[in-house]
Amino acid sequence: MAHFPASPPAAAGHRVSPSPRSSLPLAQRKAASSSTGVAGLPSWSRRGAAAVAGAAAGSNRAAAAGTIINPNHVPVLSFSEVAERLDTFQASGARNQKYMAMYSSIFGGITTNPSAMVIPIDDHMVHRGHGVFDTTAIMDGHLYELEQHLDRFLRSAVMAKIPLPFDRPTIRSILIQTVSASKCTQGSLRYWLSVGPGDFQLSSSGCANSALYAIVIESPSLQVPAGCKVVTSSIPIKSPQFAVMKSVNYLPNALTKVEGEENGAFTGIWLDDEGFVAEGSNMNVGFVTKSKELLMPCFDKILSGCTAKRVLALAGQLVVDGRLSGITSRNVSVQEGKAADEMMLIGSGILVKPVVQWDDQMIGSGKEGPIAQALYDLILEDMRSGPPSVRIPIPY
Protein backbone atom coordinates (compact mmCIF):
# COMPACT_ATOMS: atom_id res chain seq x y z
CA MET A 1 0.00 0.00 0.00
CA ALA A 2 1.32 3.44 -0.88
CA HIS A 3 2.12 5.90 1.90
CA PHE A 4 -0.01 9.03 2.14
CA PRO A 5 0.33 12.31 4.02
CA ALA A 6 -1.15 12.41 7.50
CA SER A 7 -4.93 12.65 7.40
CA PRO A 8 -7.45 13.47 10.12
CA PRO A 9 -8.42 10.21 11.86
CA ALA A 10 -11.99 9.02 12.00
CA ALA A 11 -13.82 10.04 15.15
CA ALA A 12 -13.69 7.44 17.89
CA GLY A 13 -16.65 5.12 17.82
CA HIS A 14 -17.88 6.55 14.55
CA ARG A 15 -20.30 4.39 12.59
CA VAL A 16 -21.05 4.74 8.90
CA SER A 17 -24.32 3.20 7.74
CA PRO A 18 -25.47 4.20 4.27
CA SER A 19 -29.10 3.66 3.38
CA PRO A 20 -29.49 1.96 -0.02
CA ARG A 21 -31.74 3.97 -2.32
CA SER A 22 -34.46 2.03 -4.07
CA SER A 23 -35.62 3.18 -7.50
CA LEU A 24 -38.42 2.33 -9.88
CA PRO A 25 -38.03 1.52 -13.56
CA LEU A 26 -38.95 4.39 -15.89
CA ALA A 27 -42.27 2.79 -16.88
CA GLN A 28 -43.33 2.56 -13.23
CA ARG A 29 -42.26 6.16 -12.61
CA LYS A 30 -44.45 7.25 -15.51
CA ALA A 31 -47.37 5.27 -14.10
CA ALA A 32 -46.85 6.83 -10.69
CA SER A 33 -46.69 10.26 -12.29
CA SER A 34 -49.94 9.78 -14.21
CA SER A 35 -51.79 8.61 -11.10
CA THR A 36 -50.52 11.37 -8.81
CA GLY A 37 -52.01 14.83 -9.19
CA VAL A 38 -51.05 17.81 -7.04
CA ALA A 39 -53.22 20.79 -7.91
CA GLY A 40 -51.71 24.26 -7.85
CA LEU A 41 -48.07 23.17 -8.25
CA PRO A 42 -45.86 23.89 -11.27
CA SER A 43 -45.20 20.95 -13.59
CA TRP A 44 -41.67 20.33 -12.26
CA SER A 45 -43.01 20.29 -8.67
CA ARG A 46 -45.80 17.86 -9.55
CA ARG A 47 -43.19 15.53 -11.01
CA GLY A 48 -41.35 15.72 -7.69
CA ALA A 49 -44.50 14.69 -5.83
CA ALA A 50 -44.91 11.77 -8.20
CA ALA A 51 -41.33 10.71 -7.51
CA VAL A 52 -42.09 10.64 -3.77
CA ALA A 53 -45.08 8.40 -4.43
CA GLY A 54 -42.92 6.15 -6.58
CA ALA A 55 -40.26 5.90 -3.88
CA ALA A 56 -42.88 4.85 -1.35
CA ALA A 57 -44.18 2.20 -3.71
CA GLY A 58 -40.67 0.79 -4.07
CA SER A 59 -39.80 0.73 -0.36
CA ASN A 60 -40.23 -3.04 -0.18
CA ARG A 61 -37.06 -3.34 -2.27
CA ALA A 62 -34.97 -1.85 0.55
CA ALA A 63 -36.44 -4.35 3.00
CA ALA A 64 -35.61 -7.19 0.64
CA ALA A 65 -31.98 -6.01 0.56
CA GLY A 66 -31.74 -6.61 4.29
CA THR A 67 -31.71 -3.01 5.45
CA ILE A 68 -34.71 -3.52 7.73
CA ILE A 69 -36.05 -7.02 8.33
CA ASN A 70 -39.05 -6.12 10.45
CA PRO A 71 -40.37 -2.53 10.33
CA ASN A 72 -41.81 -3.02 13.83
CA HIS A 73 -38.47 -4.08 15.29
CA VAL A 74 -35.42 -2.31 13.91
CA PRO A 75 -32.28 -4.08 15.19
CA VAL A 76 -29.42 -2.29 16.91
CA LEU A 77 -26.31 -3.57 15.18
CA SER A 78 -22.69 -3.90 16.20
CA PHE A 79 -19.96 -2.61 13.91
CA SER A 80 -19.24 -6.15 12.71
CA GLU A 81 -22.93 -6.72 11.97
CA VAL A 82 -23.09 -3.47 10.01
CA ALA A 83 -20.04 -4.57 8.01
CA GLU A 84 -21.66 -7.93 7.34
CA ARG A 85 -24.84 -6.29 6.09
CA LEU A 86 -22.87 -3.94 3.88
CA ASP A 87 -21.21 -7.02 2.37
CA THR A 88 -24.66 -8.57 1.87
CA PHE A 89 -25.92 -5.42 0.17
CA GLN A 90 -22.88 -5.38 -2.11
CA ALA A 91 -23.43 -9.05 -3.01
CA SER A 92 -27.12 -8.43 -3.77
CA GLY A 93 -26.33 -6.84 -7.13
CA ALA A 94 -28.18 -3.63 -6.23
CA ARG A 95 -25.31 -1.57 -7.63
CA ASN A 96 -25.07 -1.41 -11.42
CA GLN A 97 -21.50 -0.08 -11.63
CA LYS A 98 -18.25 -1.72 -10.62
CA TYR A 99 -16.27 0.23 -8.01
CA MET A 100 -12.60 -0.73 -8.13
CA ALA A 101 -10.96 1.44 -5.46
CA MET A 102 -11.71 4.35 -3.15
CA TYR A 103 -9.51 6.83 -1.33
CA SER A 104 -10.73 8.67 1.77
CA SER A 105 -8.79 11.22 3.77
CA ILE A 106 -10.98 10.19 6.73
CA PHE A 107 -9.20 6.84 7.03
CA GLY A 108 -6.13 8.05 5.16
CA GLY A 109 -5.76 5.35 2.54
CA ILE A 110 -7.23 3.30 -0.29
CA THR A 111 -9.67 0.42 -0.09
CA THR A 112 -10.59 -1.97 -2.89
CA ASN A 113 -13.54 -3.41 -0.94
CA PRO A 114 -16.76 -1.78 -2.24
CA SER A 115 -18.49 -2.46 1.09
CA ALA A 116 -16.02 -0.09 2.76
CA MET A 117 -16.53 2.71 0.22
CA VAL A 118 -18.59 4.93 2.51
CA ILE A 119 -18.40 8.47 3.87
CA PRO A 120 -19.54 9.93 7.22
CA ILE A 121 -23.21 10.91 7.35
CA ASP A 122 -22.29 14.14 9.16
CA ASP A 123 -20.02 15.23 6.33
CA HIS A 124 -21.43 18.61 5.26
CA MET A 125 -21.24 17.47 1.64
CA VAL A 126 -23.94 14.92 2.49
CA HIS A 127 -26.42 16.95 4.52
CA ARG A 128 -25.68 20.52 3.33
CA GLY A 129 -24.30 20.03 -0.16
CA HIS A 130 -21.10 21.85 0.79
CA GLY A 131 -18.74 20.06 -1.54
CA VAL A 132 -17.36 20.06 -5.09
CA PHE A 133 -16.39 17.25 -7.43
CA ASP A 134 -14.94 16.43 -10.81
CA THR A 135 -14.37 13.43 -13.05
CA THR A 136 -11.44 12.27 -15.17
CA ALA A 137 -11.65 9.53 -17.79
CA ILE A 138 -9.36 6.50 -17.68
CA MET A 139 -8.48 5.27 -21.15
CA ASP A 140 -6.01 2.48 -21.94
CA GLY A 141 -4.22 2.92 -18.61
CA HIS A 142 -3.97 6.71 -18.89
CA LEU A 143 -5.79 9.55 -17.13
CA TYR A 144 -7.24 11.89 -19.75
CA GLU A 145 -7.07 15.64 -19.08
CA LEU A 146 -6.36 15.19 -15.37
CA GLU A 147 -4.56 18.53 -15.15
CA GLN A 148 -7.42 20.38 -16.83
CA HIS A 149 -10.01 18.78 -14.56
CA LEU A 150 -7.85 19.44 -11.49
CA ASP A 151 -7.70 23.12 -12.44
CA ARG A 152 -11.49 23.31 -12.51
CA PHE A 153 -11.79 21.17 -9.36
CA LEU A 154 -9.59 23.50 -7.34
CA ARG A 155 -11.29 26.62 -8.77
CA SER A 156 -14.62 25.19 -7.66
CA ALA A 157 -13.21 24.55 -4.17
CA VAL A 158 -12.11 28.18 -3.90
CA MET A 159 -15.54 29.42 -5.01
CA ALA A 160 -17.20 27.08 -2.50
CA LYS A 161 -14.85 28.27 0.27
CA ILE A 162 -13.48 24.78 0.92
CA PRO A 163 -9.92 24.80 2.31
CA LEU A 164 -7.67 22.21 0.70
CA PRO A 165 -6.69 19.28 2.95
CA PHE A 166 -3.49 18.86 0.87
CA ASP A 167 -1.64 20.88 -1.74
CA ARG A 168 -2.22 20.27 -5.43
CA PRO A 169 0.77 17.94 -6.02
CA THR A 170 -0.36 15.73 -3.10
CA ILE A 171 -3.97 15.60 -4.35
CA ARG A 172 -2.70 14.71 -7.82
CA SER A 173 -0.48 11.97 -6.40
CA ILE A 174 -3.33 10.51 -4.32
CA LEU A 175 -5.61 10.38 -7.37
CA ILE A 176 -3.00 8.63 -9.51
CA GLN A 177 -2.19 6.13 -6.75
CA THR A 178 -5.90 5.36 -6.30
CA VAL A 179 -6.22 4.46 -9.97
CA SER A 180 -3.01 2.43 -9.75
CA ALA A 181 -4.37 0.43 -6.81
CA SER A 182 -7.62 -0.20 -8.69
CA LYS A 183 -5.88 -1.93 -11.63
CA CYS A 184 -8.57 -0.32 -13.80
CA THR A 185 -7.42 0.55 -17.33
CA GLN A 186 -10.71 1.89 -18.68
CA GLY A 187 -13.38 3.75 -16.77
CA SER A 188 -13.51 6.95 -14.76
CA LEU A 189 -12.00 8.54 -11.67
CA ARG A 190 -14.41 10.69 -9.67
CA TYR A 191 -13.22 12.84 -6.78
CA TRP A 192 -14.71 15.20 -4.20
CA LEU A 193 -13.59 17.94 -1.83
CA SER A 194 -15.80 18.64 1.16
CA VAL A 195 -15.63 20.96 4.14
CA GLY A 196 -15.70 17.67 6.02
CA PRO A 197 -17.60 15.95 8.83
CA GLY A 198 -18.18 17.44 12.26
CA ASP A 199 -21.84 18.14 12.96
CA PHE A 200 -25.24 18.75 11.38
CA GLN A 201 -25.12 22.55 11.54
CA LEU A 202 -25.40 24.81 8.51
CA SER A 203 -22.10 26.56 9.17
CA SER A 204 -18.90 24.66 8.45
CA SER A 205 -17.14 26.30 11.40
CA GLY A 206 -17.51 23.08 13.39
CA CYS A 207 -15.71 20.99 10.75
CA ALA A 208 -12.15 20.41 11.95
CA ASN A 209 -10.74 19.27 8.62
CA SER A 210 -11.87 19.32 5.01
CA ALA A 211 -12.04 15.93 3.29
CA LEU A 212 -10.91 14.42 -0.01
CA TYR A 213 -12.59 11.36 -1.49
CA ALA A 214 -11.95 9.57 -4.78
CA ILE A 215 -13.42 6.49 -6.42
CA VAL A 216 -12.53 4.49 -9.53
CA ILE A 217 -15.43 3.17 -11.61
CA GLU A 218 -14.77 0.55 -14.27
CA SER A 219 -16.45 1.05 -17.65
CA PRO A 220 -15.07 -1.52 -20.08
CA SER A 221 -17.00 -0.23 -23.11
CA LEU A 222 -17.64 3.19 -24.63
CA GLN A 223 -21.10 4.44 -25.54
CA VAL A 224 -21.94 4.30 -29.23
CA PRO A 225 -22.66 7.84 -30.47
CA ALA A 226 -26.26 7.12 -31.52
CA GLY A 227 -28.67 9.95 -32.26
CA CYS A 228 -31.02 11.05 -29.49
CA LYS A 229 -33.96 13.32 -28.72
CA VAL A 230 -33.81 16.22 -26.25
CA VAL A 231 -36.52 18.44 -24.78
CA THR A 232 -36.49 21.99 -23.47
CA SER A 233 -36.32 21.72 -19.70
CA SER A 234 -38.94 23.29 -17.46
CA ILE A 235 -36.66 22.89 -14.43
CA PRO A 236 -35.25 26.28 -13.34
CA ILE A 237 -31.61 26.66 -14.35
CA LYS A 238 -29.00 27.39 -11.69
CA SER A 239 -27.84 31.00 -11.39
CA PRO A 240 -24.48 31.72 -13.08
CA GLN A 241 -22.69 31.91 -9.70
CA PHE A 242 -23.52 28.25 -9.05
CA ALA A 243 -23.68 27.03 -12.65
CA VAL A 244 -19.99 27.79 -13.26
CA MET A 245 -19.01 25.88 -10.11
CA LYS A 246 -18.98 22.07 -10.18
CA SER A 247 -20.61 21.55 -6.80
CA VAL A 248 -22.47 18.50 -5.52
CA ASN A 249 -25.75 20.45 -5.71
CA TYR A 250 -27.00 18.54 -8.73
CA LEU A 251 -30.70 18.22 -7.91
CA PRO A 252 -31.69 20.61 -10.75
CA ASN A 253 -29.44 18.60 -13.10
CA ALA A 254 -30.92 15.29 -11.96
CA LEU A 255 -34.50 16.56 -12.35
CA THR A 256 -33.68 17.88 -15.82
CA LYS A 257 -32.35 14.44 -16.79
CA VAL A 258 -35.42 12.70 -15.31
CA GLU A 259 -37.77 15.13 -17.06
CA GLY A 260 -36.14 14.31 -20.37
CA GLU A 261 -36.44 10.57 -19.79
CA GLU A 262 -40.08 10.92 -18.77
CA ASN A 263 -40.72 12.58 -22.12
CA GLY A 264 -38.99 9.89 -24.15
CA ALA A 265 -35.80 11.93 -24.53
CA PHE A 266 -32.17 11.49 -23.52
CA THR A 267 -32.10 14.65 -21.42
CA GLY A 268 -33.39 18.20 -21.11
CA ILE A 269 -31.84 21.38 -22.48
CA TRP A 270 -31.62 24.46 -20.28
CA LEU A 271 -32.11 28.02 -21.51
CA ASP A 272 -30.46 30.92 -19.69
CA ASP A 273 -32.21 33.91 -18.13
CA GLU A 274 -32.29 35.67 -21.53
CA GLY A 275 -33.75 32.66 -23.34
CA PHE A 276 -30.54 31.62 -25.09
CA VAL A 277 -29.37 27.99 -25.21
CA ALA A 278 -27.34 27.19 -22.08
CA GLU A 279 -26.44 23.52 -21.57
CA GLY A 280 -27.78 20.02 -21.01
CA SER A 281 -28.25 18.32 -17.66
CA ASN A 282 -24.53 17.53 -17.35
CA MET A 283 -23.11 18.20 -20.77
CA ASN A 284 -22.47 21.09 -23.14
CA VAL A 285 -24.36 21.68 -26.38
CA GLY A 286 -22.92 22.29 -29.83
CA PHE A 287 -24.39 23.06 -33.26
CA VAL A 288 -23.28 22.99 -36.88
CA THR A 289 -24.93 25.81 -38.83
CA LYS A 290 -26.02 25.62 -42.45
CA SER A 291 -22.85 27.53 -43.33
CA LYS A 292 -20.84 24.70 -41.66
CA GLU A 293 -19.77 26.73 -38.65
CA LEU A 294 -19.30 24.90 -35.33
CA LEU A 295 -21.23 26.92 -32.78
CA MET A 296 -21.22 26.58 -29.00
CA PRO A 297 -22.82 28.75 -26.27
CA CYS A 298 -20.45 30.93 -24.24
CA PHE A 299 -19.17 29.53 -20.93
CA ASP A 300 -19.82 32.67 -18.86
CA LYS A 301 -23.13 31.43 -17.40
CA ILE A 302 -22.61 27.66 -17.57
CA LEU A 303 -20.04 25.08 -16.52
CA SER A 304 -16.83 25.32 -18.51
CA GLY A 305 -16.74 21.81 -19.94
CA CYS A 306 -13.23 20.36 -20.22
CA THR A 307 -14.32 17.94 -22.95
CA ALA A 308 -16.18 20.70 -24.81
CA LYS A 309 -13.11 22.95 -24.77
CA ARG A 310 -10.93 20.10 -26.01
CA VAL A 311 -13.43 19.40 -28.81
CA LEU A 312 -13.27 23.07 -29.82
CA ALA A 313 -9.48 22.80 -30.01
CA LEU A 314 -9.52 19.57 -32.00
CA ALA A 315 -12.22 20.87 -34.35
CA GLY A 316 -9.61 23.14 -35.91
CA GLN A 317 -8.52 20.10 -37.92
CA LEU A 318 -11.94 20.07 -39.60
CA VAL A 319 -11.54 23.73 -40.52
CA VAL A 320 -8.18 22.95 -42.12
CA ASP A 321 -9.62 20.14 -44.24
CA GLY A 322 -12.68 22.17 -45.25
CA ARG A 323 -15.39 20.24 -43.42
CA LEU A 324 -16.02 23.24 -41.15
CA SER A 325 -15.97 26.89 -42.17
CA GLY A 326 -15.18 28.16 -38.69
CA ILE A 327 -15.58 27.77 -34.93
CA THR A 328 -17.51 30.27 -32.80
CA SER A 329 -18.62 30.60 -29.18
CA ARG A 330 -21.52 33.04 -28.69
CA ASN A 331 -25.17 33.30 -27.69
CA VAL A 332 -27.41 30.85 -29.56
CA SER A 333 -31.16 31.34 -29.79
CA VAL A 334 -33.56 28.40 -29.66
CA GLN A 335 -34.71 29.21 -33.18
CA GLU A 336 -31.16 29.17 -34.50
CA GLY A 337 -30.37 25.96 -32.64
CA LYS A 338 -33.39 24.12 -33.98
CA ALA A 339 -32.60 25.30 -37.52
CA ALA A 340 -29.04 23.96 -37.39
CA ASP A 341 -27.80 21.21 -39.69
CA GLU A 342 -26.46 19.30 -36.69
CA MET A 343 -26.80 19.41 -32.91
CA MET A 344 -24.74 17.49 -30.38
CA LEU A 345 -24.19 16.97 -26.67
CA ILE A 346 -20.59 17.02 -25.45
CA GLY A 347 -19.28 15.71 -22.12
CA SER A 348 -16.77 13.33 -20.55
CA GLY A 349 -19.38 10.60 -20.05
CA ILE A 350 -20.74 10.65 -23.61
CA LEU A 351 -17.90 12.35 -25.54
CA VAL A 352 -19.96 13.59 -28.53
CA LYS A 353 -23.58 12.45 -28.86
CA PRO A 354 -25.65 13.55 -31.89
CA VAL A 355 -29.08 15.07 -31.31
CA VAL A 356 -31.58 14.32 -34.06
CA GLN A 357 -34.70 15.86 -32.49
CA TRP A 358 -35.31 18.79 -30.13
CA ASP A 359 -38.86 18.88 -28.79
CA ASP A 360 -41.01 18.34 -31.91
CA GLN A 361 -38.39 19.69 -34.32
CA MET A 362 -36.16 17.35 -36.27
CA ILE A 363 -32.56 18.58 -36.49
CA GLY A 364 -31.21 18.73 -40.04
CA SER A 365 -32.03 15.49 -41.84
CA GLY A 366 -33.17 13.83 -38.62
CA LYS A 367 -30.14 11.55 -38.73
CA GLU A 368 -26.68 11.57 -37.13
CA GLY A 369 -24.52 14.13 -38.89
CA PRO A 370 -20.97 13.75 -40.23
CA ILE A 371 -19.45 16.51 -38.09
CA ALA A 372 -20.65 14.98 -34.82
CA GLN A 373 -19.15 11.67 -35.89
CA ALA A 374 -15.90 13.34 -36.94
CA LEU A 375 -15.63 15.16 -33.59
CA TYR A 376 -16.33 11.91 -31.72
CA ASP A 377 -13.55 10.21 -33.67
CA LEU A 378 -11.15 13.08 -32.96
CA ILE A 379 -11.76 13.13 -29.20
CA LEU A 380 -11.55 9.33 -29.00
CA GLU A 381 -8.26 9.33 -30.90
CA ASP A 382 -7.00 12.08 -28.58
CA MET A 383 -7.90 9.97 -25.54
CA ARG A 384 -6.02 7.00 -26.97
CA SER A 385 -2.94 8.67 -28.46
CA GLY A 386 -3.00 12.37 -27.67
CA PRO A 387 -0.03 14.41 -26.40
CA PRO A 388 1.37 14.13 -22.85
CA SER A 389 -0.47 17.35 -21.93
CA VAL A 390 -3.74 15.40 -21.96
CA ARG A 391 -2.61 11.83 -21.20
CA ILE A 392 -0.93 10.77 -17.93
CA PRO A 393 0.22 7.11 -17.73
CA ILE A 394 -0.81 5.16 -14.62
CA PRO A 395 2.00 3.19 -12.91
CA TYR A 396 0.16 -0.07 -12.21
CA distance readout (Å), 46 to 21, 54, 368: 21, 12, 34
Tell me the β-bridge partners of 269: 232, 280
Options 229, 238, 246, 301, the catalytic residue: 246
Pairing of strands 187-194, 142-144: unpaired
Q: Three-state SS across the chain? A: CCCCCCCCCCCCCCCCCCCCCCCCCHHHHHHHHHHCCCCCCCHHHHHHHHHHHHHHHCHHHHHHCCCCCECCECCCCCHHHHHHHHHHHHHCCCCCCEEEEEEECCCCEEECCHHHCCCCCCCHHHHCCCEEEEEEEEECCEEECHHHHHHHHHHHHHHCCCCCCCCHHHHHHHHHHHHHHHCCCCEEEEEEEECCCCCCCCCCCCCCCCEEEEEEEECCCCCCCCCEEEEECCCCCCCHHHHCCCECCCHHHHHHHHHHHHCCCCEEEEECCCCEEEEECCCEEEEECCCCEEEECCCCCCCCCHHHHHHHHHCHHHHHCCCCCEEEECCCEHHHHHCCCEEEEEECCCEEEEEEEECCEECCCCCCCHHHHHHHHHHHHHHHHCCCCCEEECCC
If phi over 0 gives left and psi between -120 and 50 gives alpha, with beta otherwise, what is residue 78? beta
CA end-to-end span of the chain: 12
257 is catalytic: no
Catalytic residues, by residue number, are 246
